Structure 1
Amino acid sequence: MALPEGRHFVRGDDGYEDARRSTVWNQRVPDRYPAVIVQALDDDDIVAALAYAKANDLQVGIRSGGHSWAANHLRDGGLLLDMHGFDQARIDKDKMVAVAGPGKGGSILAAELDAEGLFFPAGHCKGVCIGGYLLQGGYGWNSRVLGPACESVIGLDVITADGEKRYIDADNHPDLYYAARGAGPGFFAVVTAFHLKLYAKPAICGMSFYAYPFECADEVFTWAREISADVDRRVELQIVATRSVPDVGIDGPAIVLASPVFADDEKEAEKALALLGTCPAIDKALAKVPYAPTDLPTWYTAVMGNYLEDHRYSADNMWTSASAADLMPGIHRILQTLPPHPAHFLWLNWGPSPARADMAYSVEAEIYLALYGGWMDEGDDEKYADWPRANMAEMAHLATGIQLADENLGQRPAKFATDEAMARLDKARAAYDPDGRFYPWMGRV
């Protein structure tokens, strides 16, 4: 079976470099060059690409939206399967199920569901497609209530290394289904569609907003750690430290608490957010909005102020349940070395979490910390690119592991699944991909 005419590019072909660069959403495209890129539009394209890879002894990388900070899908010498064209979605309101391709934009799906009075915990950033997002776990809107989005994946259509089309779920190929919910960029099959459990749209989407100067760091983060178990699960307490918040007129450094809440009515929303007004530094706040109604389109616009397509990005992260006293030295170092906006430091109050489904996603903790470096000039790569890795490495002794959403495994290998989960993944990979056709995670051979 021949590769699709006009939609495959061998290195050196006209159009190859455009095809390669278009698979990375930001401007920092690694110097890694697949031997061939295939832009798939149907199952036959995938089967042909896998047959070509086997015939030419090439490993296969897969891209859906290209939002991997590390561009995990770009590998030297292999075959890159670009799944961005699989952007269809069917919504069955009666069955509360959607079937969507890996190239479907999460924010687009969220809008389509919203119009039907439905909801799914899609990712927080525009442009992120559901393929990589769901495979790695999927922390999204209202995920503290609904769980990581992969828990709401009830089945998948996949094509395995042998070119076979399979439907997988808890009863059909359960080991492959287990892997699909959390293996992320190390998943060893091609997903052509996700079957998603849907939810009723929350009646109210509200928010609170507080901003503090960096001088309040000890008070803010110590308080945030102390209340972590008490934050209503309908609230996403996201703390972002940045050198400026231009969208709200804050020109200097600020620690921003921008917290969505999903509730049945405004009274419940205000009650759920009330705890966030108890910070001991409240009198020093640069801005105070205890409650305001909002919606997801507004949130998407606000979030994207930190993720600009004309910038170059690097990222790293950690899960931790360490005390504030143990975390503060590292946090002070982060704030002291923080590059200019849009670089930022994210603190997320996540747990303690309920028991999770049996799936490869298996490492989390009470607090999630992530660093995002963002800059424009390629000449500043040496100055800024290593900032996330260096700071997370300094705090690694406090980590229980990392989240694959913001992985930096190629530069800093770290634990992203329990030992038991990794053993099960390795066993399933040996069964479904015995020749190692699909690339494993960077940083793990």
Structure 2
Amino acid sequence: MSGLPAGRHFFRGDDGYEAARSATVWHARVPERYPEVIVQAVDADDIIAGLHYAKSNGHNVSIVSGGHSFAASHLRDGAVLLDVSRLNHATIDVEKSRAVVGPGKGGSLLMADLQEQGLFFPGGHCKGVCLGGYLLQGGYGWNSRIYGPACESVIGVDVVTADGEQIHCNEDNHADLYWAARGAGSGFFGVVTSYHLKLYPRPAVCGTSAYLYPFELADEVYTWARSIGAEVDPRVELQAVASRGEPTMGIESPVISFASPAFADSEEEAEKALAIFGSCPVADKALVKIPYMPTDLPTWYDIAMTHYLSDHYYAVDNMWTSASAADLLPGIRNILDTMPPHPAHFLWLNWGPVPRRQDMAYSVEDDIYLALYGSWKDPADEAKYADWAQSNMAAMSHLASGIQLADENLGRRPARFASDEAMARLDEVRAAYDPDGLFNSWMGRL
């Protein structure tokens, strides 16, 4: 007997195996990598059984919690894959502004629960993003320029270690593993069963502005966006999404969309924070110009999802940079010239100036975040579009300070995602908690 949970494990070749494998990838591009067995865990006992089986049979272990892992780094040949998406519990303590949530809890679902109780958390921008991988890799989400990456609001983690021990980690207990859990991403060497979160008061107002420009004005708008980085109110997410159409606005031509949420205590404050968008020197040439309108998170989730369609294939890549607009523009022009059809897109995000962060494995970020989301629906188009994100980011890599693990492409383009000091410490902590290398590490690293 395997000792694995009956009815919830699938060996390669079993009926139900391929359905279980494919279900761990949210989009259509499921890599040709095959775990030996998939364990659909519902509690810590299932996890421990999976770990014991792996150790007894010489397998490595990977974990998936569900979400938008474009690269599907959890799929490894010959591994035991622990699917913890069913650990989706959530307990909210309104008085203490705390929550205990499972890795399989959807971020948008948690946000809805919190909104009803007047609370807030910097959850991810897309529906379907579960908290497990999102929090491990850092977590850029709603209002993160105020609250920081979501991992800064993780005040404790419950972890099953490589030897099957269940421990609670925080700044006073197993502090080194707690440090690693906030930024190690898919290279974390344990199985998180619960996150303990710090919550915040729900902002009274969510407002937005919308300015849409044709690609022909790219030089002007990106130069302007780069120049105002230090001036943008931290309550504003200044993001520009370039795509070959914007269906939500009825536009089918190539367009750069500056549509940015602002969270504030009043409509007046939100409108004031968003006024900076009117300072773009070509604002009068915008195809759409909406200086301010009230909105809400459910609407924003719907807008975000128009760029992420589960029946499409995706290949992504990204970079952090502090380069000037003049240095970035040649690469940006090539990105726009070669962009696949919608919903493929190019994201520009004004993130900095970066404040001093807590001591955690998450340790690489910069003034500007650039991310490419190549997409196609017909599998025959893979040869045409699959390399778009990778090749463009590789061409601009001399301007990068690193990448973010959220939308990584490490298996095909290894890149720096943590500081040298953090990587050295991660190796030390891994050696202490997983000396035999039971857990798979990142698919690539420098």
- Tell me the TM-score normalized by structure 2: 0.99
2:121 corresponding residue in structure 1? 120
Contact between 2:187 and 2:440, CA under 8 Å: does it hold in 1? Answer: yes
Give deviations 1:339-394, integer Å, cap 9, x for gaps.
10000000000001110000000000000000001111111111111100000000
Whole-angstrom CA distance in 2 between matches of 1:26 and 1:387? 17
Paired residue secondary structure (1:306): coil
- Answer yes or no: is 1:64 the counterpart of 2:94: no
Q: Percent identity?
A: 69
- Answer yes or no: is 1:444 the counterpart of 2:442: no
Whole-angstrom CA distance in 2 between matches of 1:66 and 1:326? 34
2:183 corresponding residue in structure 1? 182
Give deviations 1:322-351, integer Å, cap 9, x for gaps.
000000000000000001000000000000
Paired residue secondary structure (2:113): helix
1:245 corresponding residue in structure 2? 246
1:427 corresponding residue in structure 2? 428
List alignment gaps of at least 5 residues for structure 2.
Answer: none
Paired residue secondary structure (1:409): coil
Whole-angstrom CA distance in 1 between matches of 2:381 and 2:38? 30
Whole-angstrom CA distance in 1 between matches of 2:427 and 2:343? 38
Task: Write out aligned runs for 1:35-434 (5 A).
Answer: 35-434=36-435
Give deviations 1:278-313, integer Å, cap 9, x for gaps.
111111100011110000000000000000011011
Paired residue secondary structure (1:222): helix
Whole-angstrom CA distance in 1 between matches of 2:70 and 2:311? 14
Letter in 1 for 2:137: Q
Whole-angstrom CA distance in 1 between matches of 2:383 and 2:188? 32
List alignment gaps of at least 5 residues for structure 1.
Answer: none
Whole-angstrom CA distance in 1 between matches of 2:105 and 2:284? 44
Paired residue secondary structure (2:123): coil
Paired residue secondary structure (2:236): coil
Paired residue secondary structure (1:225): helix
Give deviations 1:128-149, integer Å, cap 9, x for gaps.
0000000000000000000000
Letter in 2 for 1:274: A
Which stretch has the larger CA shift, 184-193 or 376-385? 376-385
Which stretch has the larger CA shift, 62-71 or 208-217? 62-71
Contact between 2:416 and 2:445, CA under 8 Å: does it hold in 1? Answer: no
Paired residue secondary structure (2:222): helix
Whole-angstrom CA distance in 2 between matches of 1:85 and 1:42? 8
Paired residue secondary structure (1:162): coil
Paired residue secondary structure (1:426): helix
Whole-angstrom CA distance in 1 between matches of 2:430 and 2:58? 18
Paired residue secondary structure (1:191): strand
Paired residue secondary structure (1:380): helix
Whole-angstrom CA distance in 2 between matches of 1:292 and 1:436? 52
Q: CA deviation at 1:444?
A: 3.4
Q: CA deviation at 1:442?
A: 0.3
Letter in 1 for 2:157: L
Letter in 1 for 2:144: S
1:34 corresponding residue in structure 2? 35
Letter in 2 for 1:64: S
Whole-angstrom CA distance in 1 between matches of 2:156 and 2:122? 16
Whole-angstrom CA distance in 2 between matches of 1:82 and 1:111? 24
Contact between 2:240 and 2:256, CA under 8 Å: does it hold in 1? Answer: yes
Whole-angstrom CA distance in 2 between matches of 1:271 and 1:66? 35
Q: CA deviation at 1:66?
A: 4.0
Whole-angstrom CA distance in 2 between matches of 1:265 and 1:26? 38
Whole-angstrom CA distance in 2 between matches of 1:213 and 1:131? 38
Runs (4+) off by over 2 Å = none
Q: CA deviation at 1:266?
A: 0.7
Whole-angstrom CA distance in 2 between matches of 1:416 and 1:63? 20
Paired residue secondary structure (1:217): helix
Q: CA deviation at 1:67?
A: 1.7
Whole-angstrom CA distance in 2 between matches of 1:304 and 1:38? 29
Whole-angstrom CA distance in 2 between matches of 1:15 and 1:6? 10
- Tell me the TM-score normalized by structure 1: 0.99
Give deviations 1:241-265, integer Å, cap 9, x for gaps.
0000011111100000010000010
Contact between 2:278 and 2:291, CA under 8 Å: does it hold in 1? Answer: yes
Paired residue secondary structure (1:224): helix
Whole-angstrom CA distance in 2 between matches of 1:259 and 1:44? 44
Contact between 2:138 and 2:362, CA under 8 Å: does it hold in 1? Answer: yes
Paired residue secondary structure (1:13): coil
Whole-angstrom CA distance in 1 between matches of 2:246 and 2:418? 35
Letter in 2 for 1:241: A
Whole-angstrom CA distance in 2 between matches of 1:19 and 1:415? 32
Whole-angstrom CA distance in 2 between matches of 1:67 and 1:436? 26
Whole-angstrom CA distance in 1 between matches of 2:144 and 2:103? 20
Paired residue secondary structure (1:297): helix
Letter in 2 for 1:91: I
Whole-angstrom CA distance in 2 between matches of 1:172 and 1:157? 11
Whole-angstrom CA distance in 2 between matches of 1:443 and 1:122? 27
Give deviations 1:30-72, integer Å, cap 9, x for gaps.
0000000000001110010000000011100100014211001
Whole-angstrom CA distance in 2 between matches of 1:314 and 1:90? 35
Q: CA deviation at 1:197?
A: 0.1
Whole-angstrom CA distance in 1 between matches of 2:248 and 2:236? 22
Whole-angstrom CA distance in 2 between matches of 1:324 and 1:306? 25
Letter in 2 for 1:376: K
Whole-angstrom CA distance in 1 between matches of 2:209 and 2:219? 21
Letter in 2 for 1:414: A
Whole-angstrom CA distance in 2 between matches of 1:374 and 1:293? 31
Q: CA deviation at 1:150?
A: 0.1
Give deviations 1:111-138, integer Å, cap 9, x for gaps.
0000000000000000000000000000
- RMSD over aligned Cα, in angstroms? 0.8
Contact between 2:155 and 2:170, CA under 8 Å: does it hold in 1? Answer: yes
Whole-angstrom CA distance in 1 between matches of 2:433 and 2:68? 26
Contact between 2:415 and 2:445, CA under 8 Å: does it hold in 1? Answer: no
Whole-angstrom CA distance in 2 between matches of 1:413 and 1:163? 31
Whole-angstrom CA distance in 2 between matches of 1:37 and 1:341? 34
Q: 1:260 to 1:141 in 2, by over 3 A?
A: same
